[in-house]
Chains A and B, each alone.
Chain A
Amino acid sequence: LAKTTQPISMDSYEGQEVNITCSHNNIATNDYITWYQQFPSQGPRFIIQGYKTKVTNEVASLFIPADRKSSTLSLPRVSLSDTAVYYCLVVKTGANNLFFGTGTRLTVIP
């Protein structure tokens, strides 16, 4: 299973765009990238997933370069309510397990 590395913490002011980069050098051909958000005392919530290039939904964008050894989660115009831990995961197609890395604790400052 590909190991992921992401910054332990980040701070951002309200209204700014936040980019969280995750490194996954050992990603395999049949792996894809998924991101989850977790608030204190709640379960993680699925944000976005992708295999290559760019994926966008109503919450975030996910950028994956051609070599797929990293990915960047982009949160546009963050608000205080975006303060949470963000987890990057590499998941094998067809696998029934999610293994969480350390995550990035994002703090949005007024």
Chain B
Amino acid sequence: DTEVTQTPKHLVMGMTNKKSLKCEQHMGHRAMYWYKQKAKKPPELMFVYSYEKLSINESVPSRFSPECPNSSLLNLHLHALQPEDSALYLCASSQERSGTAINYGYTFGSGTRLTVV
């Protein structure tokens, strides 16, 4: 299995709702990532998990709450979002790198298209 699977593919939520995005991979990758991408813009890094521990939080508002229950799963819990949070949310995974380890490429999912109304 060489894929990153994201569910749901589309999500519409109100500003008072609580929802979760799910990401799953079975490639044995120990680093997982959440990115946010607005239309016609590059992906922006939100969170990095390394060995199921949060290692990077790129100053993301607390209405976004990541969770890594195990080495194959990554969730993004959403609460009290704003319309400007509407975007494509991408999950990615990679081999964990440290020291002189070289990046052999990230694998991205197809994303969840989120619309906040």
Contacts and interface: CB of A to CB of B under 8 A. Distances in A.
A102 B48 CA distance: 21
Interface of A, helix, strand, loop or mixed by DSSP: loop
Interface residues of A, number: 23
A96 B48 contact: yes
Contacts, number: 69
22 contacts: A32-B102, A32-B103, A41-B88, A42-B110, A43-B90, A43-B91, A43-B111, A45-B108, A46-B105, A49-B104, A87-B42, A93-B101, A94-B100, A95-B103, A96-B94, A97-B33, A97-B56, A98-B92, A100-B42, A100-B43, A101-B42, A102-B42
Interface of B: 4, 31, 33, 42-45, 48, 50, 55-56, 88, 90-92, 94, 96-111, 113
Interface of A: 30, 32, 34, 41-46, 49, 87, 91, 93-103
